[in-house]
């Protein structure tokens, strides 16, 4: 098991959370707390950069959905970026790949939002 690390950086399009390690039953509450502390402006995009994600269980999926719900409540968008193959497979099996906006990397998510503005 790898400890969850969340690094937040802000860009014009909105905050980017770089998530590394395991997103599971023990660590998912930490992601939820981090997301709940964010204030998103209308039209911004919250990007979760999953390039360093090593493992994600059902609690992790629930935390990702909670982040999406928070963004929606604040009239913002949310995107997942750089999803590892094992997590992409889980998203596909559960149908969540049709729920989340998915980008190949965080810069693509930010560029898309900047172009739409």
Report the DSSP pairing between strands 5-11 and 14-23: antiparallel
Which tokens is 17 given? 């959370």
- What's the pLDDT tens digit per position in 93-108? 999 999 999 999 998 8
Fold of the 5-106 domain:
Transcription Regulator spoIIAA (3.30.750)
- pTM greater than 0.85: yes
φ, ψ for residue 69, nearest 5 deg: -60, -40
* Length of the chain in terms of residues written: 117
Q: What is the mean pLDDT of the chain?
A: 94
Domain chopping of the chain, boundaries: 5-106
Calculate ∠ Cα 93-24-26, nearest 5°. 160
Q: What percent of the chain has pLDDT over 70?
A: 95
- What's the pLDDT tens digit per position in 42-73? 999 999 999 999 999 999 999 999 999 999 99
């Amino acid at each position: 098991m790898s400890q969850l690390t969340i690094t937040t950086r802000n860009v014009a399009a909105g905050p980017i959370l770089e998530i590394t390690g395991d997103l599971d039953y023990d660590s998912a509450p930490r992601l939820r707390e981090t997301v709940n502390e964010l204030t998103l402006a209308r039209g911004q995009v919250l990007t979760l950069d999953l390039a360093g994600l090593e493992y994600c269980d059902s609690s992790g999926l629930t935390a990702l959905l909670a982040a999406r719900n928070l963004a929606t409540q604040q009239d913002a968008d949310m995107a997942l970026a750089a999803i590892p193959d094992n997590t992409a497979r889980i998203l596909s099996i559960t149908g969540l790949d049709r729920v989340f906006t998915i980008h190949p990397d965080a810069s693509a998510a930010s560029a898309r939002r900047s172009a739409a503005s």
